[in-house]
Amino acid sequence: MKIIKYEKIVEEVKNMCIKATHELKDDVVNALKNAYEKEESPFGKEILSQILKNIEVAKEDNRPLCQDTGFAVLFVEIGEDVKIEGGSLKDALIEGIRKGYTEGYLRKSIVEDPLRRKNTGDNTPPVIHFDIVPGDKLKIVFEPKGGGSENMSAFKMLLPGEGKEGVKKFVIETVKKAGANPCPPIVVGVGIGGTFEYSAFLAKKATARPIGHRHPDPFYAQFEEELLEEINKLGIGPMGLGGRITALDVNIETYPCHITSLPVAVNIQCHSDRREEVIL
């Protein structure tokens, strides 16, 4: 049995909040640099140049990459041989978010009621997805999800007979409808299968995958490439001003589903593809 202290989790999550909102991972930066080289539109190239400059300034000056520091989303894998000492895991995660957004002077964007709209003042509560796995490790992936890209999410319950072509049509239509709103070039997460709610979880999980990491099944890896190619033919371009590069990547996650169903969800991430990971 591995013991992990409550305070350790709080501190790690706090640090993840600050680092993720200030500094992009190398895979994202490299993808944006590659996009700059490929982009043919003068406007698009200038936009990508400004995005890359913003990344440099944020890192050098220790400032947030974007004023929207997001809804805190956590993907947590807890090993069966892990014990949390000094408090509950959920409370530690929430406290870490509270400290990260408060001590890091990050924008607090969460309202405690969806209709009455009073701000919680500390960006809690987060959305936490727990998964119990074998072993003695605790893995936490933090993804601050901005409102502009999140608002472009979509779900559709397709008929099984619509198959791959139906999924492709829905994904392309969703990105086309989103246009400039999610601040392209974007990362497109696609969840296929499961149930109504689980396909949405899969789509969100897909956005947290590093750019360039293909699906382990060659069939879906090829489908990701096909979707990326089709999306980049739409001409939306960086920040919606036209160009060759609308998406940096497309990631698909799948799950078994009912014989009568084909649920599909799309979750879009903006060009500031922020995430951080820790394993304790």
The one-digit pLDDT tens for each residue of the chain (280 residues) are 999 999 999 999 999 999 999 999 999 999 999 999 999 999 999 999 999 999 999 999 999 999 999 999 999 999 999 999 999 999 999 999 999 999 999 999 999 999 999 999 999 999 999 999 999 999 999 999 999 999 999 999 999 999 999 999 999 999 999 999 999 999 999 999 999 999 999 999 999 999 999 999 999 999 999 999 999 999 999 999 999 999 999 999 999 999 999 999 999 999 999 999 999 9
Do 192 and 260 share a domain, yes or no? yes
Same structural domain, 122 and 13: yes
182 in the same domain as 255: yes
What is the CB-side half-sphere exposure of residue 7 using CA atoms within 13 A? Answer: 1
In a domain, 53, yes or no: no
Q: Do 135 and 156 have their domain in common? A: no
Please give the tally of structural domains in the chain. 2
Same domain membership, residue 164 and residue 77: no
Of 106, 128, 145, the one marking the end of a domain is 145
Which of 88, 113, 145 terminates a domain? The answer is: 145
Looking at the structure, tell me whether residues 231 and 180 fall in a common domain. yes
Q: How many CA atoms lie within 13 A of 55 on its CB side?
A: 21
Between the CA atoms of 83, 89, 92 and 96, what dihedral angle is there, to the nearest 10 degrees?
110
Task: Please tell me whether residues 8 and 121 are part of one structural domain.
Answer: yes
In a domain? residue 198: yes
> 152 and 259 in one domain?
yes
Residues 136 and 12 in one domain: yes
Q: Is 229 exposed, middle or buried (0-12, 13-18, 19+ CB in 10 A)?
A: exposed
153 and 165, same domain (yes or no) = yes
Domain boundary at 78, 112, 145, which?
A: 145
Whether 28 maps to a domain, the answer reads no
Buried b (16+ CB within 10 A) or exposed e, 55-68: beebeeeeebbbeb
Is there a single domain that holds both residue 70 and residue 160? Answer: no
Provide the residue range defining the domain that includes 82.
Answer: 2-20+65-145
Closest-CA residue to 208 (of 63, 106, 53, 74): 74
* 7 and 138, same domain (yes or no): yes
